[in-house]
């Protein structure tokens, strides 16, 4: 495991819904290993036990895909996501989540920006943990070929995200969103 990464511990000060996620086994998807790299420790203030929730969100998203291998999740700050977004997409601004598909047994990498995720959750009136889990699931689905370039693909991806959130016992992020 890389420096700064961690394994799940106790449920701490999570809400009952999110704490329930942590009551299940630590490896809900035995064919997918998830490494979480905590580049910005402030993630733990925004989302208590962010590392454990990231693992569970990847597993929930990939459960029915047949995916096997490993995924890394980078919990970074806005500056790092701005750099990655500029380097890989030519967009000189931070974004909430980026996915980089891998090859072979490496399914790929997911990176999230702390400040963007915090601001989006606040603006949408969502619990940060729920928004975070949704974005991790979204990133994981990109790694296995889901996309949202057209309306049909977007609907399929949204349904897969809603299923993942249901598995995590978190709110459907698309409920109440106009089609």
CA distances to 4, 12, 66, 91 from 69, in Å: 21, 30, 10, 30
Domain assignment of residue 3, yes or no:
no
Mean pLDDT for 67-77 is 96
Binding residues for Zn(2+): 138, 142, 148
Question: Does some domain include residue 161?
Answer: yes
The domain of 127 spans 18-167
As annotated, the binding site includes 138, 142, 148
| Distance separating alpha carbons of residues 176 and 24, to the nearest angstrom | 29
Residue 178 lies in a domain: no
In a domain? residue 51: yes
Q: Is the pLDDT of residue 128 over 80?
A: yes
Q: Which CATH number belongs to the domain containing residue 49 in this structure?
A: 3.40.390.30
pLDDT tens column, 75-109: 999 999 999 999 999 999 999 999 999 998 999 99
pLDDT at 18: 45
Report if residue 107 sits inside a domain. Answer: yes
| Residue 174 pLDDT | 82
How many domains, the chain? Answer: 1
Task: Kindly state whether residue 2 falls inside one of the protein's structural domains.
Answer: no
Confidence of residue 7 (pLDDT cuts 50, 70, 90): very low
């Amino acid at each position: 495991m890389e420096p700064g990464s961690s394994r799940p511990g106790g449920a701490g000060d999570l809400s009952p819904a999110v704490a329930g996620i942590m009551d299940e086994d630590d490896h809900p998807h035995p064919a997918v290993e998830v490494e979480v790299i905590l580049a910005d420790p402030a993630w733990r203030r925004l989302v208590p036990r962010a590392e454990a929730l990231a693992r569970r969100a990847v597993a929930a998203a990939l459960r029915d895909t047949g995916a096997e291998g490993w995924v890394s999740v980078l919990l970074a700050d806005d500056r790092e996501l701005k750099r990655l977004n500029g380097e890989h997409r030519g967009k000189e601004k931070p974004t909430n989540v980026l996915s980089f598909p891998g090859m072979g047994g490496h399914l790929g990498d997911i990176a999230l920006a702390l400040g963007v995720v915090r601001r989006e959750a606040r603006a949408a009136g969502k619990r940060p943990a729920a928004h975070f889990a949704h974005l991790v699931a979204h990133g994981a689905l990109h790694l296995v070929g889901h996309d949202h370039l057209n309306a049909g693909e977007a609907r399929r991806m949204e349904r897969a995200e809603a299923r993942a959130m249901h598995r995590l016992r978190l709110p459907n992020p698309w409920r109440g969103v106009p089609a």
